[in-house]
Amino acid sequence: MRGRLPLLLLLMTVAGTLALAACTVGATPEPLSTPMPTASAAAAPVANADCSCPCPIPASAQAHAPTSTVPAVSVAGVKLTGQPFFVRATDEPDIRRCQGLVVAAETVTDGTFVSAQQCWDEGAVWWEEAAAETSWESGDLVAAADRWIEIELARTYTLREAVVQADNNDAYLLSYRDLETGGWLPLWTVPPAYSFGMVTRPDPLDNGKRQALPMIVATDAVRLEAEFGDGTYSVSEVQLFGEPSND
Ligand SMILES: [Ca+2]
Ligand SMILES: [Ca+2]
C-alpha cells in the first residue's frame, strides 16, 4: 500500500498538467473538421472549472466571429501619382500578362475584393517597371520609388488595422502622412504571399481578417507603393480601420 500513494500523486499531477494544457490550447480555434462535442462531452463543465482562460468556443461559432470591432475609416479620394499606371513597360511578349484592363483609381477603396488568384492586370490598379524585363524571374527586384497610390482620408484618424489585396509575388509599402511635417513615413510592409494572381494579406483565405498595424498613428492620408517584387505590380483593395482623431 505504501508504494501506491506516490504513484497516485504522480498520476494526479500528470492529469492536472494535461488539463492545463487543454485549457491553453482551447483558446486556439479548432479546425473546422473537428467534430462538434457530443452531449456527454459538453456536459462536463467541471473539467474546465479551474481554467483561467475562456473555455473553447464551438468551431461553428468561431468561423463567423468578427476578428475586430474597430470601425472602417472613410476615404475622401484616391489618386495615382508619379509615373503612369496601366502602361506596358515593353513591347516584348510577357507570359505574365493577361488583358491589361484599365480601372478607376477609386476601385482600390470601393470595399470590393477581386476573386482570389485573379490575374494581376484584370481588375486591379496595375503598373510595370521597365527594369524588370530582364531579370523578373528572380522575383526580388527592389521597386523603383516612382509612383504611388495615394488615399486621402475623410478626416484625421487613429489607424490601427489594415487589409490589402495585391499581386501575390511582391511586397508593398504602406506609408502614412505625418500631420506635422507633411512627409511620408513607413507604416506597414505588406509581405509577399506567393501563390498566383491577386492575394489578400494578412490572410489569403479570409478577406475579413485584419493586420494589426506595427504602429498606431494619427494621420489624414496613406499611400501604397511597390517595395520589391518582379516588376509587375497591382493593388485591388486597401481597407483601413481606426477611430476618428482630433490630433
Ligand atoms: Ca476594390
Ligand atoms: Ca508581381
Distance (angstroms) between ligand 2 centre and the Cα of 121 equals 10
Percent of the chain with pLDDT over 70: 68
Task: Name, in order, each residue with C-beta under 8 angstroms of 36's C-beta and a sequence gap of 6 or more.
Answer: 58, 59, 60
Distance (angstroms) between ligand 2 centre and the Cα of 191 equals 12
Q: How many angstroms separate the CA atoms of 46 and 55, rounded?
A: 11
Return the top range by mean pLDDT from 3-7, 138-142, 144-148, 166-170. 166-170
What distances in angstroms separate CA 183 from CA 45, 223, 237, one per listed residue? 56, 11, 24
Q: Which residues surround ligand 1, an ion (CB under 5 A)?
A: 107, 110, 112, 236-237
Within a 10 A sphere around the Cβ of 26, how many other Cβ atoms? 16
pLDDT at 130: 77
pLDDT digits (tens, 9 = 90+) for 58-116: 343 334 445 689 999 999 999 999 999 999 999 989 999 999 999 999 999 999 999 99
Distance (angstroms) between ligand 2 centre and the Cα of 235 equals 10
DSSP 136: G
**pTM of the predicted protein model:** 0.73
- pLDDT above 60: residue 246: yes
Distance (angstroms) between ligand 2 centre and the Cα of 77 equals 25
Distance (angstroms) between ligand 1 centre and the Cα of 235 equals 8
Phi, psi of 47 (to 5 degrees): -60, -30
CA-nearest of 145, 208, 136 to 173 is 145
Q: Which residues pair with 132 in a beta bridge?
A: none
Query: Residue 216 has which C-alpha cell?
Result: 498606431
**All CATH 2.60.120.260 domain ranges in the chain, comma separated:** 75-244
CA-nearest of 226, 236, 222, 201 to 128 is 226
pLDDT at 132: 54
Distance (angstroms) between ligand 2 centre and the Cα of 197 equals 8
Within a 10 A sphere around the Cβ of 94, how many other Cβ atoms? 15
CB 141, CB 217: distance < 8 Å: no
Distance (angstroms) between ligand 2 centre and the Cα of 240 equals 23
H or E, element range at 213: strand 211-229
- pLDDT above 60: residue 21: no
Query: Residue 26 has which C-alpha cell?
Result: 482551447
Q: Which ligand is nearest to the CA of 128?
A: 2
Distance (angstroms) between ligand 2 centre and the Cα of 95 equals 12
Distance (angstroms) between ligand 2 centre and the Cα of 49 equals 51
pLDDT digits (tens, 9 = 90+) for 27-51: 333 333 333 333 333 333 333 333 3
Distance (angstroms) between ligand 1 centre and the Cα of 239 equals 9
Q: At the topology level of CATH, where does 75-244 sit?
A: Jelly Rolls (2.60.120)
Distance (angstroms) between ligand 2 centre and the Cα of 120 equals 7
CA 34 to centroid of chain Cα atoms: 26
Distance (angstroms) between ligand 2 centre and the Cα of 196 equals 9
